[in-house]
Chain A
Amino acid sequence: MSQIYFSEDHEWIEVEGDVGVVGITNYAQEQLGDVVFVETPEVGAALDQGDEAGVVESVKAASEIYSPVSGEVSDVNEELADNPGLVNEEPEDGAWFFKIKLSDPGELDDLMDAAAYKKFCKDQD
């Protein structure tokens, strides 16, 4: 059974076993507007929680993507390079950014569940 967590930087991570799939939330893509460029991390990169893991650029601005947990990048979504607009269309599904092998699953406690994240976004508006 997988479980989804959310960061205050508007990333989501869906965790199954010790592997997490990371992307940006629907709220984040709405704030960004039309996404025109995505840079994902390199497979094999070792990331600490909060490290810069990539960049997403919209017609308006560039924003960094931060890793919600520590670990090693095991896969990246190659499709986003050619089709960055997928981030607007399927932010919490097809437009995942990278997969990461968690080195410290305890870090998930720092993140929010769906209900807490929904409230967090509401407070931002």
Chain B
Amino acid sequence: MERTTLDMWVGAFVVGGVIALLILAFKVGNLGGYDGSKTYKVYGEFDNIGGLKIKAPVKSAGVVVGRVSAIKFDNKTFRANVEMRLSQNHQFPKDTSAAILTSGLLGEQYIGLEAGGDEENMKDGDKFKLTQSAMVLEQLIGQALFNKAADEGGDKKTAQDGNKKDVVK
């Protein structure tokens, strides 16, 4: 008799542990979120991928449609080659464009797809024709400074009619 209560406790303990693991896998982890069984591969070449990582989501209209499966550096073109696996449930026209975007101010980076209008859909192994690289903060700041300098230069030019070369520098 005593052993049956003991067995019951141990059984409950094991069930509790397994349930905890399942909670961790499906509720905390990303195992339940996205069905990775039926996918097709598409590629995108980017000048700069910024902080994009493998497993980063691929979203279209904010909905996750796939994940980044591999990131390689192309030795010939000196660009980053990103391999994505998209779910078979989501088909995109051939002229879809891919951009590396950031969720929130300091959030993770993901690939956003903007569907085009082509009749034909993308197939396994296709490449995105139009891609937009990640924004790099330094370049952004540099551009802003340059624009500001150019604006000021323009003001000065109208004021004193000086030559452009001097002020832009």
Asked whether A and B interact, the reply is no
